[in-house]
Amino acid sequence: MVQGAESPGEGSQGAESPGEGSQDEQQPSFADAVAAAARRSGLGRVEPGQAPTAGALLAAIGGVRGLVESILPGLLFLVVFTITQQVLPSVLAPLAIAVVFIVVRALTRQPVTSAIAGALGIAVSAGLALLSGRAEDNFVPGLVINVVMVLVMVGSILAKRPLIGVVVGLLTGDAVWRADAAKYRVALIATILWVVLPALRLAVQLPLYLTEQAAALGATKLVMGVPLYAILLWVTWLLIRTAWSAPRGAEETREA
């Protein structure tokens, strides 16, 4: 045998066996996971360049079933509390209907994740109200969520990475959107709007909480919940379309 020639297999000792080199590729990165979460969000229901339709908007808030599951528990709380003025039945009625939603989804072979998440949120709210004996404590988790939303959105603006732009960038694979003046400006405006909504909720609901007006809290939460969310989502889509669907040649470069 000629010296220096490798016997079969000798030269391939360092070669990767099938599948070894692709293990890292098969495992989704953090960015991929965040992008997947963004696609499941309301904004992910419509491509940035696509015209938002009423059907797409309805799908973004969970369809008719999602709409019912979002509104009915709060409506039940309001009705029961208005009639009884009692904490126990007022918080147990929404929890009971949340369990019904899970059962119906399971029986109809529909995903139950969102229904379970909703039931857990209602259970936490009910637990707080029952522990304190105050019906208005049923709304503490919602107030906390609004505070967190304001802080996150404002933080992203101060970091010069408006969160709506980050989400749209993940959805479209546009990693350089911040370098485009039009896209950055639109993302900034949209993110500011997403600061305004939770801030407005806090401005209205926090005084009601502090003055122990549980029925008024329930009513304002219904009005300022899904309806305002749907309107804001629609406006956000329209804003995003103005920049992300613009012709390539019309893009400006934002100064660093």
- In tens, the pLDDT along 201-248 reads 999 999 999 999 999 999 999 999 988 998 998 899 888 888 887 544
pLDDT in tens, 189-207: 999 999 999 999 999 999 9
Residues 6+ apart with CB under 8 A from 48: 168, 171, 172, 237, 240, 241, 244, 245
Tokens of 215: 């029925």
Break the chain into its structural domains and give their ranges.
Answer: 48-250
> Which residue is listed with tokens 């936490």?
124
pLDDT tens figures, 13-37: 444 444 444 444 455 554 555 555 5
Of 188, 196, 240, 256, the residue nearest 41 (C-alpha): 240
How much is the pLDDT for 5?
47
Residue 58 has pLDDT above 80, yes or no: no
